[in-house]
Amino acid sequence: MGLNWIDKRREFRFQLKGTFQDVCFALGSKKVSVEPIDISRSGIGLLVDGTWHSDDYKELKIVFPDARPSVTLQVRFRVQERDADTMQARTRCGLELSDRDKNRGIDLIALFSGVPTLRLLCA
C-alpha cells in the first residue's frame, strides 16, 4: 500500500499560537474573528468564525494598528468545520499574499513578529 499524499506547501511553516491583539481582519467590508494555525513568509493558515458560501470572498485584508503596512491575502483553500467544544461553524482556510504584496517584499513572519500575544513554534 503506497502513500499518495503530496505536500503542496512551497515554504517552511511555523505553527502559530496565541491571539492577534489589535489586528483587524476583514472579508470584504465584514470584520471577522480569526484563530491562528500556521504561518510562512508568504502564507498563513487561519480558522475564521462562521461559514463562507462558495464564492463569497476571495480575499482577506489585514490591517495593523500601527505603522506596519496593511496586506491583502488571497484565499487558496477553505474547508467548513465546527468547533469541537461549542459546535460553532467556522472555516479553516489557507491564504497567500497577493502578487502586489509579494512584489512589495512583504514578509508575514516579520509583520507578525511585532504582535506580543503570538508565538511561532517549529511545526
For residue 113, give the DSSP letter.
Answer: T
Give the model confidence (pLDDT) of 69-113 as tens digits: 999 999 888 888 877 777 788 888 999 999 999 999 999 999 998
pTM for this model (two decimals): 0.83
The structural domains of the chain, with segments of one domain joined by +, span 22-116
Q: Is the pLDDT of residue 10 over 80?
A: no
User: Sheet harboring 118-122: ordered strands across?
Assistant: 30-31, 24-27, 59-63, 71-82, 89-97, 43-49, 34-39, 14-18, 118-122
**CATH fold of 22-116:** Thrombin, subunit H (2.40.10)
Which residue, 49, 123, 37, is CA-closest to 82? 49
